[in-house]
Structure formats: C-alpha cells, structure tokens
Amino acid sequence: APSSEGGGPVPDTPAEGEARAQSLDRGGEASSQALRSKLLDAERRVLEQEAEIQRQQALLEELQRAPRRPVNVAERIEAAQDAATFTAAAAAVDEAAAA
C-alpha cells in the first residue's frame, strides 16, 4: 500500500479490506480443510494398523494355546496322497456323471 505523509501504510478502503479478509478466509479454509483431510487419513491409517496388530496378537495367542506335537512327515505325506486320491476319484465320478 502507498505511504501517507506520516510514513505509515495507507489503510484499505472498506471494500478492499473486506475483499482481503475474504481472500484470507478462503485461503485459511482451504488450508484448514487440507490439514483436516490429512489428519483424517492419518487417523484411518492408525486405526487400520491397530486392527492389524490386534488380529496378529489374537493369532499369536491362538498359536501359543495350541497343543504342541512333533510334526510327523510320514503322516503329512499320507494325508496329501489321500487328498490327491480323493480329488482324482471325485473328478472321475463327475466325469462319469456328465457322460
């Protein structure tokens, strides 16, 4: 703003002052909304992380409560073979039914 004889800035006209105030309000509102949006995103991420932590803690507790027994590799192989045999038999039955 141009200086008056006293050396200070010349005050805005009422219309200029109002326009400047509205412009500042709009800028502040946009900035405030952007910050609010960032805050909500951060809160959402924190809630998602807390939910994931709780899920993992529940899984860990479940694993800790499970009875421990040695893994029998032969049993696992036999179970896999039984499952494969069953699957093959089921497929043969389906094919026969479709024919």
Number of domains comprising the chain: 2
Q: Are residues 97 and 81 in the same domain?
A: yes
Q: Does a structural domain hold residue 6?
A: no
Q: How far apart are CA 96 and CA 24, in angstroms?
A: 79
Q: Are residues 76 and 64 in the same domain?
A: no
The model's pLDDT over 20-29, given as tens digits with 9 standing for 90+, comes to 778 777 777 8
Token pair, residue 95, equals: 């094919």
The pLDDT of residue 17: 78
Q: Does a structural domain hold residue 7?
A: no
Tell the residue number behind the tokens 């039955």, with chain if given.
93
Q: How many CA atoms lie within 13 A of 47 on its CB side?
A: 6
Quote the mean pLDDT of the chain. 83
Q: By residue range, what is the domain housing residue 85?
A: 71-99
The model's pLDDT over 55-83, given as tens digits with 9 standing for 90+, comes to 999 999 998 887 777 778 888 888 888 88
